[in-house]
Amino acid sequence: MTDMPQTEAAPRPRGHACIQSYLKTLDSSPGVYRMLDEQSRVLYVGKARNLKARVSNYARPSGHSPRIARMIRETASMMFLTTRTETEALLLEQNLIKQLKPKFNVLLRDDKSFPNILVAKDHAYPQIKKHRGAKKEKGAYYGPFASAGAVNRTLNQLQKVFLLRNCTDSMFESRTRPCLLYQIKRCSGPCVGHISEEDYAASVKDAEDFLSGKSTQIQGNLAAEMQKASDDMEFERAAALRDRIRALTNVQGVQGINPRGVPEADVLALHMDGGQACVQVFFIRANQNWGNRDFYPRVGPDVEEAEVLEAFIGQFYDGKEPPRLLLLSHGIENRDLMEEALAGKAGRKVEIAVPQRGEKAELVESAARNARESLGRRLAETATQAKLLKGVAEAFGLDGPPERIEVYDNSHIQGTNAVGAMIVAGPDGYMKNQYRKYNIRGDDLVPGDDFGMMKEVLHRRFTRLKKEDPDRQKGLWPDLLLIDGGAGQVSAVAEIMREHGVQDIPMVGVAKGIDRDAGKEEFHRVGERPFALRRNDPVLYFIQRLRDEAHRFAIGTHRAKRAKGVGATPLDDVPGVGAGRKRALLSHFGSAKAVSRADLADLKAVDGVSEALAERIYAFFHEQG
């Protein structure tokens, strides 16, 4: 891959003339081009098999769609990167689109990773659990699943069927009697020896067989076992096996469509309406439906289905392993090229097809119906949201409906485990992938100082914003700040905004008002008298929902932090002290504080603590002091 040499000269003309001026510097190499406006903001990223031929098309003064014509008019300069192959250009194009988010490209806005089920293999009694992210842990991975909910439902049923543990290794090692899951028949109790290693391994194999699509065989084996238990008059065991068969049937029922002739595929169906698009993705693995998810890529008013789907596929699989088969509702222009690019990522063949009949076509039709219904609901919600945002602009005197509202709240108990939380909302509702939590770490803060906490959160927020988006071109800057609190909070936040030079962002404090009664909220702004909205105003309800969502997120974050701290001791930070030795030390001395004060001879006297470990523990606490 090489950079195309460019020479700086006098300011270039805009539009067709600007694009025409680059033709003499281009050859027929494959590559990627970028179109930029007068502020050097990227308008569009595209790939080409022949750069000169593609750019010459833009240089023509007519024959373009309205969207492309507008893009050409705004173009003030271009950049080029040549590549060795067109496939390389395709991969680079999608990477740059995700990174630069040009306004004229189709853009996948929601690109989170998908969860898997992991059967961990680094323990004599493997754990079954949800996993998201890089596959670094030793074990067998099954997925992807469409959502955490789909994984949790499947795990819940698998526990009923196969009785595998989901506790951590440290919890497993510390048990002296079975936990509640054993009592309710969700675990076989390996932690206390209620099942042999061989029998547990057989259950693990059955679970993996099920996740690999061999559910019929497992169901038959369980039915045979149940019949044998019944014949032997072991009715309690027969009843337990019956319950496991029912649970297995429930898993299959929840999955809905389970295609017999499609062992592994992603089904992608597109529906477009009202200038918006929805892509519905079904995940088929091991002949089972592992959930579906809808996506709403950003599209222009005159974009064709083929362009939307091709852009979606390129960006969606940029950081994900593609399956062996993609079933599409519409054909794409560069199918062979996309297959080659995806095969290069996966290290094996990847096929893209648009089925016309049979089971595969039925799968695509089902996904298309879901896409159509999802987009219909979204359009209705968007219309309502647009009215509410217009009302917010009128209520708070904004220049126009806000595209991004940030709402802040704090949570703590008498100053302990203090956290700050930010939620984000816009024309499409809550933007949960933009939510942020802040562990309050100001050492000079007085416990319970809400003003100081809010100042710390906003200081960190604006410091990061100025670093990540200094030119305010990435859509990360808010159009409105909502703060949970009255005049004091507003004054504290205004001080931070002045320090960061961002006084052009409207900011409103939402106070509970008289008797802290919902419906009597007062709104505070810098230098203005507080005011209220009428009790039945839809905008008031909207603000209440935003505040409640921020409060829910803050409380949840605070509880998670508090729970994490429960049971934590300084011993957790001592190298070489695991769950068993920690338990022995606490049993011997009674508390972590007593361990920290113990002399070397007393530490050596603890069962299981070697001389070297005793010296390490002693040194740790004395160095800490």
**Structure confidence at residue 446 (pLDDT):** 61
Q: Is the pLDDT of residue 305 over 90?
A: yes
Average pLDDT on 359-364 reads 94
pLDDT at 329: 96
Rounded Cα distance between 478 and 431, Å, is 12
SS3 sequence, 528-552? CCCECCCCCCHHHHHHHHHHHHHHH
Give the pLDDT of residue 598: 84
Contacts of residue 476, defined as CB under 8 A and 6 or more positions apart, other chains included, come to: 404, 465, 468, 469
Binned at pLDDT 50, 70 and 90, residue 468 comes out as confident
32: which strand partners?
47, 81
Whether 625 shows a pLDDT value over 50: the answer reads no
pLDDT at 244: 67
Predicted pLDDT of residue 121? 87
**Greater confidence, 285 or 573?**
285
Q: Report DSSP state, residue 107.
A: B
Name the more confident of 224 and 513. Answer: 224
**Pair of tokens at residue 430:** 């809550």
Average pLDDT value over all residues in the chain? 85
Res. 445 pLDDT band, cuts 50 70 90: low
pLDDT, tens digit (0-9, with 9 covering 90-100), for 59-112: 988 888 888 999 999 999 999 999 999 999 999 999 999 888 898 999 987 767
* 405-560 belongs to CATH 3.30.420.40: no
The CATH homologous superfamily to which domain 264-377 belongs is UvrC, RNAse H endonuclease domain (3.30.420.340)
pLDDT at 307: 93
The predicted pLDDT at position 620 comes to: 78
Residue in the block written with tokens 């002739």 = 261
Where are the domains positioned within the chain? Answer: 2-100, 116-255, 264-377, 405-560, 570-624
Among 11-15, 81-85, 403-407, 606-610, name the one with the lowest average pLDDT: 11-15
φ, ψ of residue 340 to 5 degrees: the values are -65, -40
**CATH number for region 2-100:** 3.40.1440.10
Length in residues, the chain:
625
Q: Model confidence over 319-329: pLDDT tens digits? A: 888 999 999 99
Q: Given CA atoms 441, 447, 452, 457 in this order, what sign does their dihedral have?
A: positive
Q: Where does 570-624 sit in CATH, by number?
A: 1.10.150.20
Q: Decide which of 477 and 217 is more confident.
A: 477
pLDDT at 624: 45
| Mean pLDDT computed over 425-452 | 79
How many other C-beta atoms lie within 10 A of the C-beta of residue 195? 19
Compute the half-sphere exposure of residue 122: CA atoms within 13 Å on the CB side of its CA.
7
Q: Is the pLDDT of residue 228 over 90?
A: no
What distance in Å separates the CA atoms of residue 70 and residue 56, rounded to the nearest whole number?
17
Of 12-16, 193-197, 446-450, which one has max mean pLDDT? 193-197
The reply to whether domains 405-560 and 570-624 share a CATH topology is no
pLDDT at res. 567: 54
pLDDT tens per residue, range 501-539: 888 899 999 987 665 555 678 999 988 899 999 888 899
Task: Name the β-bridge partners of 326.
Answer: 266, 352
From 279-293, 342-356, 407-421, 607-621, the region with the lowest mean pLDDT: 407-421
Distance CA(250)–CA(610), nearest Å, equals 51
- Residue 143: name the closest of 283, 350, 258 by CA: 283
Contact 339, 352 (CB under 8 A): yes
User: Which tens digit of pLDDT belongs to each residue from 5-27?
Assistant: 554 445 668 888 899 999 989 99
Q: What is the mean pLDDT of residues 577-591?
A: 79
pTM above 0.85, yes or no: no
Q: Is residue 455 within 8 Å of 409, Cβ to Cβ?
A: no
pLDDT for 237-264, tens place per residue? 777 677 767 766 665 554 445 677 888 9
Give pLDDT, residue 7: 46
Residue 45 in this model has a pLDDT that exceeds 60: yes
- Residue closest to 265 by CA, chosen among 232, 245, 290: 290
